[in-house]
Amino acid sequence: MSLPFHSLLTVCTGNICRSPAAEALLRARLPQTFRVGSAGLGALVGQSMDETTRRVMQRRTGVDHPNHRAQQLVEPILRAFELILVAEAAQRDEILGRWPFVRGRVFLITQWTDRSDVIDPYRQPEEIHEQCLIQVETAVESWASRLGVK
């Protein structure tokens, strides 16, 4: 199978909840030849994936991301990926304002679902993490389908 893209970056704020969950789920869903990464606009650099998000993701999907370490979004990372998926419209706008060269490559992860912002579960109760993961799972499936992955 030949995909139209070969690399995809997911972006949220802290890079410990939404974007690493999306990264892990996309990595599990896409062919191994596809490169997937994540970063944050206000990353909690070096931190592991949020334990509640990780636990809920494992329970819901069986997917884990134990070695994740948060990283700050910087220009070289943006240049290294062909497609950039963000959790919120404000994040898309900030990226386009700071790095206009990525225009046409930045989309809401919910582009093919309801185009809503993904709920930020940071420091929220487990049920908010659950709602977030449902949004991310649905978005990942829609992107996989759009990319032609069966």
Residues annotated as catalytic (active site), given as ranges: 12, 18, 120
Phi, psi angle pair for 107, to nearest 5°: -140, 155
Structure tokens at 44: 């909690």
> Rounded to 5, what percent of the chain is helix, strand, coil?
40, 15, 45
Name which of 67, 66, 45, 42 is nearest 54 in CA terms: 66
Beta bridge partner(s), residue 38: 10
SS3 state of residue 139 = helix
Residue type, 117: D
